[in-house]
């Protein structure tokens, strides 16, 4: 790093220091109030499983929730509640009753819509007030188990099982409080969890610091992988991609590196990468960019993620050869056994 880069980095840290201090203070006192029961976590008449993390995105929560819902649905009535990040609506909204397909992802958020497109027979509701959402789900769908998507920081509702996901690909630098890193709250708060799950273990080895931290909690620690399960077309039908097919990788997710590594494992020849910020809402001008890039790389196709395809499907994709890489979350056998025993 050059001297100028170090000076610039120091200035940026100095500018953001008051924001970090304020953010840390809010998180600290909020958790103190919950720990000493000034704020109360309310119980609901259904078993609650929370799937969350300490960092802002990129751990693979959506594939994990899909896996968990399918695992439990064979023996239980399952429902899912998500905040619905980035949606245009407010309050309690039904994404699907288990039989319907969402009409417009913008009403619910991209991740709840992705859940609905991958899960059949499972009601999904979005509500940033998880307790209100849970009571709505219980009254209307009467599930045995409610899965809370991204709820580790949402302590207003009691849970029977608190699972925290840790991205194996995350660097040590990521484990600093926002805005200097990706941490939503101090790393020590991970001890509130019941169990830790390292994700994407087939793509990277977690850093030594994070492994030591996980071991020091004395919590059960499990590993999971992301398995490629083929490709799907814009109509969500199976799509064939031949080995070494030249492709333009389009992504707007928190951890694009995992997408690139998964494409490499699928023997896809990535000739160009177009990366956007997480939850980015694609526009028609982006489609023009796609078309021009396809012309520059004759014979290539566009491959994106399932989450991004949710946001792209609302646009007119005629004339664009596009598909999504489908991935499957796979938990190790010990982790699966632990969850089933805890919830039974």
pLDDT in tens, the chain (344 residues): 444 334 344 455 566 678 778 888 888 899 999 999 999 999 999 999 999 999 998 999 999 999 999 999 999 999 999 999 999 999 999 999 999 999 899 999 999 999 999 999 999 999 999 999 999 999 999 999 999 999 999 999 999 999 999 999 998 888 888 888 899 998 889 999 999 999 999 999 999 989 999 999 999 999 999 999 999 999 999 999 999 999 999 999 999 999 999 999 999 999 999 999 999 999 999 999 999 999 999 999 999 999 999 999 989 898 899 999 999 999 999 999 999 999 98
Query: Tell me, what's the pLDDT at 13?
Result: 57
Q: Are residues 241 and 209 in the same domain?
A: no
Q: Are residues 206 and 97 in the same domain?
A: yes
Bridge partners of 80, per DSSP, are 124, 147
Q: Are residues 258 and 178 in the same domain?
A: no
Q: Are residues 148 and 79 in the same domain?
A: yes
Query: Tell me, what's the pLDDT at 176?
Result: 85
Q: Are residues 53 and 197 in the same domain?
A: yes
Q: What Å distances lie between residue 52 and 59, 67, 186, 248, CA to CA?
A: 9, 14, 15, 31
Query: Tell me, what's the pLDDT at 23?
Result: 81
Query: Tell me, what's the pLDDT at 318?
Result: 87
Q: Are residues 84 and 166 in the same domain?
A: yes
Query: Tell me, what's the pLDDT at 60?
Result: 96
Q: CA–CA separation, 319 vs 288, rounded Å?
A: 11
Q: Are residues 185 and 63 in the same domain?
A: yes
Provide the residue range defining the domain that includes 16: 1-40
Q: Are residues 193 and 242 in the same domain?
A: no
User: Domain containing 289 — which CATH number?
Assistant: 3.40.50
Q: Are residues 58 and 136 in the same domain?
A: yes
Q: Are residues 174 and 69 in the same domain?
A: yes
Spatial CA neighbour of 30 closest among 154, 177, 181, 163: 154
Give how many domains the chain has, as a whole number.
Answer: 3
Q: Are residues 116 and 205 in the same domain?
A: yes
Q: How far is Cα of residue 251 from the mean position of the Cα atoms in its chain?
A: 14
Query: Tell me, what's the pLDDT at 9?
Result: 46
- Its pTM stands at 0.93
User: Domain containing 93 — which CATH number?
Assistant: 3.40.50.300
Q: Are residues 182 and 243 in the same domain?
A: no
């Amino acid at each position: 790093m050059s001297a100028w880069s170090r000076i610039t980095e120091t200035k940026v840290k100095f500018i953001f220091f008051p924001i970090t201090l304020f953010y840390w203070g809010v998180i600290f006192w909020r958790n103190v109030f919950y720990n000493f029961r000034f704020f109360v976590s309310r119980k609901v008449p259904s078993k609650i499983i929370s799937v969350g993390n300490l960092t802002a995105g990129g751990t693979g929560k959506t594939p994990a929730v899909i896996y968990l819902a399918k695992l439990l649905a064979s023996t239980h009535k399952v429902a899912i509640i998500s905040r619905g990040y980035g949606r245009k609506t407010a309050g309690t909204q039904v994404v699907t009753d288990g039989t319907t397909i969402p009409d417009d992802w913008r009403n619910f958020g991209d991740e709840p819509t992705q859940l609905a497109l991958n899960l059949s027979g499972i009601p999904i509701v979005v509500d940033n007030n998880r307790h209100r959402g849970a009571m709505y789900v219980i009254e209307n769908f009467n599930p045995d188990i409610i899965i809370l998507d991204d709820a580790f920081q949402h302590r207003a509702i009691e849970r029977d099982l608190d699972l925290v996901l840790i991205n194996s690909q995350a660097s040590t630098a990521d484990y600093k409080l926002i805005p200097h890193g990706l941490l939503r709250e101090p790393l020590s708060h991970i001890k509130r969890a019941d169990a830790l799950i390292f994700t994407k273990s087939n793509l990277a080895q977690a850093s030594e610091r994070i492994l030591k931290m996980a071991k020091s909690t004395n919590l059960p620690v499990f590993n999971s992988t992301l398995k490629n399960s083929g490709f799907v077309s814009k109509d969500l039908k199976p799509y064939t991609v031949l080995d070494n097919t030249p492709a333009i990788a389009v992504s707007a997710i928190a951890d694009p590196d995992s997408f690139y590594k998964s494409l490499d494992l699928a023997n896809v020849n990535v000739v160009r990468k177009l990366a956007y910020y997480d939850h980015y809402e694609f526009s028609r001008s982006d489609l023009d960019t796609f078309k021009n890039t396809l012309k520059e790389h004759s014979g290539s196709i566009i491959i994106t993620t399932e989450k991004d395809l949710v946001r792209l499907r609302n646009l007119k994709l005629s004339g664009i050869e596009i598909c999504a890489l489908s991935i499957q979350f796979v938990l190790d056998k010990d982790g699966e056994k632990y969850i089933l025993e805890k919830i039974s």
